[in-house]
Amino acid sequence: MKLDVVKLREDAILPEYQTAGAAGADLHACIDEPIVLQPLERRMIPTGLAMSIPEGYEVQIRARSGMSIKHGITMVNGIGTIDADYRGEVGVLAINLSQEPFTIEPGMRIAQMVVARYEVASWNIVTELDETDRGAGGYGSSGTN
């Protein structure tokens, strides 16, 4: 699949897959100077990129696992969604969950993006649902093993 991408700044770096089997392509910070993200601070980090995503697809923006475990840097909204009809700059909604400031440097790999297919649902109102073994059992009802 090819995505049309506009570099909004000359120094923007295209997403990069680090290995042949990687599902996520790394996104880079497109900033002029370092950003110090204080503990519990939230910031939108620009990538300098806009893209045209085909209808029926989304781009999921996810935290990089190494940054999350080593530095507590993750996504404010868990996983961000870039919709097929959005044409603005892709931003990374970062939060520092650690107790130490973290510096984001220009060009740093700050998140990853995964291209995913989706279905558009329609809603069918019924009077009851089909039965399953779990039924209405809530969180943790299926056990821990």
Quick one: tokens of 54?
A: 């085909």
Q: Is residue 68 classed as helix, strand or coil in its secondary structure?
A: helix
Over its length of 145 residues, how does the chain's per-residue pLDDT go in tens digits?
899 999 999 999 999 999 999 999 999 999 999 999 999 999 999 999 999 999 999 999 999 999 999 999 999 999 999 999 999 999 999 999 999 999 999 999 999 999 999 999 999 999 999 998 888 877 776 666 6
Q: Rg of the chain over CA atoms, in angstroms?
A: 19
Distance CA 29, CA 46 (A): 6
Q: Is 8 left (phi over 0), alpha (psi -120 to 50) or beta?
A: alpha
Q: Please state, in angstroms and rounded to a whole number, the distance separating the CA atoms of residues 18 and 74.
A: 19
What's the mean per-residue pLDDT of the chain? Answer: 95
This prediction has a pTM of: 0.88
User: Hey, what domains does the chain have and what are their CATH numbers?
Assistant: 4-117 (2.70.40.10)
Tell me if 89 sits within 8 A of 30, measured CB to CB: no
